[in-house]
Amino acid sequence: MKKFLLFLLIALVYLAHQDIWNWKSAEPLFLGFLPVGLAYHAGFSVLCAALMAVLVKVAWPAHLEAQENNGEDAGGVGQSSSVPMETPLPGSLPASRVEEKAEISGS
């Protein structure tokens, strides 16, 4: 039932995107300056972001998280690299040198 409701919600948002009702005119202005079609799409974008948040919260496949936490995934997105976090990037200063440089410039 949950999958059906989520699918129905996605279908309703998809249908709401087909805004053929206001293509010929920029009037009326929303808040006195924003064409109604642009305001509609701004609201639609917020609705899509909320829908994606709901989908991630409710329908995210838990077995993928379990695989990543158990180390079963073979290097997919989100895997930690083999380079330790303490290793400075090429051309950057190690933390001790940054502190020395700050002390010198602060004097």
Is residue 24 included in any domain, yes or no? Answer: yes
Q: How many residues does the chain have?
A: 107
Rounded to whole angstroms, the Cα distance separating 15 from 3 reads 18
Is residue 20 included in any domain, yes or no? Answer: yes
- pLDDT at position 92 is 66
Can you tell me whether residue 29 is helix, strand or coil?
strand
The answer for 32, left when phi > 0, alpha when psi is -120 to 50, beta otherwise, is left
Is residue 42 included in any domain, yes or no? Answer: yes
For residues 94 and 84, the answer to whether their CB atoms sit within 8 Å is no
Query: pTM of the entire structure?
Result: 0.55
pLDDT tens digit string along 26-52? 778 889 888 888 888 999 999 999 999
For residue 90, whether the previous peptide bond is cis, meaning omega lies within 30 degrees of 0, is no
Is residue 60 included in any domain, yes or no? Answer: yes
Task: Please tell me the total count of domains within the chain.
Answer: 1
